Structures are given as structure tokens and as C-alpha cells.
Amino acid sequence: MNHWAFVTAAYAVVVLGTTGLLTWAYVTMRKAEAAADGLKRPQ
């Protein structure tokens, strides 16, 4: 049995999933912080 197709697919799932999760967390964090800064009362 050639196992490389499975290994490649497993790596692809992990890389895409992890990158997607981290990107989503980063983008939502930056958006939320920008929104909070936008609503700051002028000093």
C-alpha cells in the first residue's frame, strides 16, 4: 500500500485547518480592537 497519498492528505488537512483557525482568530481580534478604538471617547 502506498501511504504517501494519506500522509499528504493528513498534512494538508492539518495545515489548512490550523492556518484557517489562526487567521480567523487574528482577523476577528484585529477587527474587534479596531472597532473598540473607533468608539473611544476623545480625551
Partner 1 sequence: MIMHLSDFVLLLNTLWFGGAFIQFSVAQGNTLKILVPREERGNPIAPTLSASVAFLGAINLPIIHYSVLWWRTLHQGQSIGVSGSSIDSSILWPLPLAALGFTCLFGAAVLMRMRAELAEAKVEARMRRAATE
User: Which residues contact partner 1 by CB under 8 A?
Assistant: 1, 5-6, 10, 13-14, 18, 21-22, 25-26, 28-29, 31-33, 35-36, 39-41
CB of 14 to partner 1, least distance (A): 8
Q: Which is nearer to partner 1, 40 or 43 (CB)?
A: 40
Cβ distance to partner 1 smaller for residue 35 or 43: 35
d(CA 2, CA 41): 63
The dihedral sign for the CA sequence 14, 20, 26, 32: negative
CA distance 14 to 8: 10
